[in-house]
């Protein structure tokens, strides 16, 4: 059966998310948050700053600059 049929059987539906650089965050906001995209980005950037040693090895650019850019809209969030 199609993905839509499987989703309907579970009371779910497919959502379209615009590919605008905010898509990762917009999909999280759509499904699991009362925040808006900007608030979620800022929250994640702050978390990354507080847990630097856990995440810095996975970021291939300047870590502080990455966190600062991540807190702004329309920046791809794929490395997190």
What does the pLDDT look like over 28-72, one tens digit per residue?
999 887 999 999 999 999 999 999 999 999 999 999 999 999 998
Q: What is the pLDDT of residue 33?
A: 79
Domains and CATH numbers, the chain: 18-80 (3.90.70.80)
Q: Give the predicted TM-score (pTM) of the model.
A: 0.80
- Give the Cβ contact number of residue 26 at 10 Å: 18
Distances (CA, A) of 78 to 22, 23, 48, 72: 10, 10, 14, 14
């Amino acid at each position: 059966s199609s993905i839509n049929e499987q989703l309907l059987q579970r009371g779910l539906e497919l959502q379209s998310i615009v590919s605008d650089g905010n898509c990762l965050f917009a999909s999280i906001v759509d499904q699991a948050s009362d925040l808006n995209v900007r608030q979620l980005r800022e929250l994640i950037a702050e978390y990354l700053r507080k847990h630097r040693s856990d995440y810095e090895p996975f970021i291939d650019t300047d870590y502080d600059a990455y966190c600062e850019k991540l807190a702004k809209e329309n920046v791809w969030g794929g490395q997190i």
